[in-house]
Amino acid sequence: MPTFQYGTTAIEYDIEYADDKKDVSIIVEWMEGIRLIAPKDITTKQIEGIVQKKAPSILQKLKEINEITEPPSPKEFVSGEKFTYLGRNYRLKVYREEGLQKVKLSFTRGRFIATVPDKMNEYEKRQQLMELFKTWYLEHGKTKIQSRLKLYCTKMGVSPNDVQLKEQRMRWGTCTTEGNIYLNWRIIMSPMPIVDYVLVHELAHLKYLNHSYEYWNFVRSILPDYEQRKEWLRVNGPTLTLE
């Protein structure tokens, strides 16, 4: 992914080439980041010049998006609260236990069960449960991603070097030039068709490193309704969080 340094800020962006473009369009979206749609005959130096010129307005747009995005209230990790996994909500039940040394979390019979030391304060409880939930999502998400990976690698004729779920603040997925794919662990909260979209989106970059017309045609050949899935993620993405 191209990166441009503007002052102390590193600006990452994707480039999509289009046959019918005569100038460069810059699109800034929440979690999707910055995307340039450019003519096929444009040079890297020309693109860098445009990004440098537009850097102040790009950063301002990012700031505005962060200000108007309204994610749900931070989780309190209390009994009755709902947590989403693969698009379905599951309630949390919290128990206090005397003599317990550390917080425990399990998933049993369709609900999350948390056991907390009797004298632990709310702040400490919240911090520890947040980390345990992240770990739970990472572990269960890894298993789910691996099963979907086998399906789509066969369909798409690709083979990534590595696929991991990890913390990513401003992107749903990344594909490196080395063939490594990193997916935002929060995506495992979304319905399976959305998980599939993000996975296919990144796998397609193993054949097309940009967002060219050919790239999107390839994605469409695998997921004909990818645009609806992408729109769902744009609208509902801010709700996929614990914080």
Q: What is the 3-state secondary structure (H, E, C) of 137-148?
A: HHHHHHHHHHHH
Phi and psi based region of residue 110 (left: phi greater than 0; alpha: psi -120 to 50; beta: remaining): left
Q: Are strands 3-6 and 9-18 parallel, antiparallel or unpaired?
A: antiparallel
Collapsed DSSP state (helix, strand, coil) of residue 14 = strand
Four-point Cα dihedral 125, 127, 128, 131, nearest 10: 150
Cβ-based neighbours of 40, under 8 Å, separated by 6 or more: 17, 18, 19, 21
Buried-exposed string 203-217: b where 16+ CB fall within 10 A, e elsewhere: bbbbebebbbeebbe
Same domain for 32 and 98, yes or no, is: no
Per-chain mean pLDDT for the chain:
88
Ranking 8-12, 38-42, 43-47 by mean pLDDT, the lowest is: 8-12
Number of domains observed in the structure of the chain: 3
Whether residue 73 is contained in a domain is answered as no
130 and 148 together in one domain: no
Q: Are residues 225 and 148 in the same domain?
A: yes
CA distance linking residue 201 with residue 226, whole number of Å: 9
**Per-residue pLDDT reduced to its tens digit, 129-184:** 999 999 999 999 999 999 999 999 999 999 999 999 998 766 899 888 899 999 99
Q: How far apart are CA 43 and CA 21, in angstroms?
A: 14
Q: Is the pLDDT of residue 69 over 60?
A: no
Does residue 198 fall inside a structural domain?
yes
- Global pTM reads 0.74
Domain that holds residue 35: 3-68
**CA–CA separation, 36 and 162 (whole Å):** 27
| Within a domain: 156 | yes
Q: H helices within the chain, ranges in order?
A: 44-68, 122-156, 192-204, 213-222, 226-236
Tell me the CATH number at 156: 3.30.2010.10
Amino acid identity of 125? K
